[in-house]
Amino acid sequence: MLPRLSRLERIIGTECVESFSKKCVLVLGVGGVGGYVVEGLARSGVGKLIIVDFDTVDESNINRQIIALGSTIGRLKVDVLEERIKDINPECVVVKNSNFIDENNFMTLFSEDIDYFVDACDTTTVKKLVIKECLNRNIPFISSMGTGNKLDPSKLEITDIRKTVNDPLARILRKFVKDEKINKKVMVCTSSELPIKVEGRTPGSSAFVPSSAGLLISSYIIREFIKK
């Protein structure tokens, strides 16, 4: 066992840790939430990470995104994150996709065998498409709901979309799930904290909630792998 994973091995055993090296997880959106999802998975020894994001690091990202530093401003997020993953675990296979994902090309996300799909994107239309496609293909998935305009990470939880409260994005997807007559569970990471009202359409954000959501999601995935 590699020394970098020895402390995790003490908790769950060598066999479990070694099995993670054979897993592939796709993370759609590697900003505030998705970046920390990747962080948790990379530090747990997941063997293949597909990271998808078209955006570059902006100075406004520095308050909440793990890849956002003064030295990374202007660089593609997937390039910065690949370097970080390789620094954590050189043996991890990293597949980068810097395309903007929409209804015209989202099917390209399913071109490889995926053990888990993490939706941490900001586009509601794409979230709906991902939910349907993952269910159709029986791919385990989890979708991140809204973390903007919130300050209390203790209000985060992972639950079925039908049990969400105080989450405007989840409200939209709850209606979608109902209208589409989807009976299977749709697992999401959501916060029950009431959003703080801000002026304008751009949401505010903190260092605490997106990062906690990302690590909560990565923990959930690892625990799901352990069950199997």
* Residue linked to tokens 């409200």: 171
- pLDDT by residue for the chain (228 residues), tens only, comes to 679 999 999 999 999 999 999 999 999 999 999 999 999 999 999 999 999 999 999 999 999 999 999 999 999 999 999 999 999 999 999 999 999 999 999 999 999 999 999 999 999 999 999 999 999 999 999 999 999 999 999 999 999 999 999 999 999 999 999 999 999 999 999 999 999 999 988 999 999 999 999 999 999 999 999 998
Q: What does the alpha-carbon distance between residue 155 and residue 74 come to, in Å, rounded to a whole number?
A: 33
CA dihedral 61, 97, 126, 186 (to 10 degrees): -90
Residue 110 CB-density burial (10 A; 0-12 exposed, 13-18 middle, 19+ buried): middle
pLDDT of residue 1: 61
Length of the chain: 228
Question: Which candidate, 106, 66, 91, places its Cα nearest to that of 218?
Answer: 66
pTM: 0.97
Structural domains of the chain, with CATH:
3-146+205-227 (3.40.50.720)
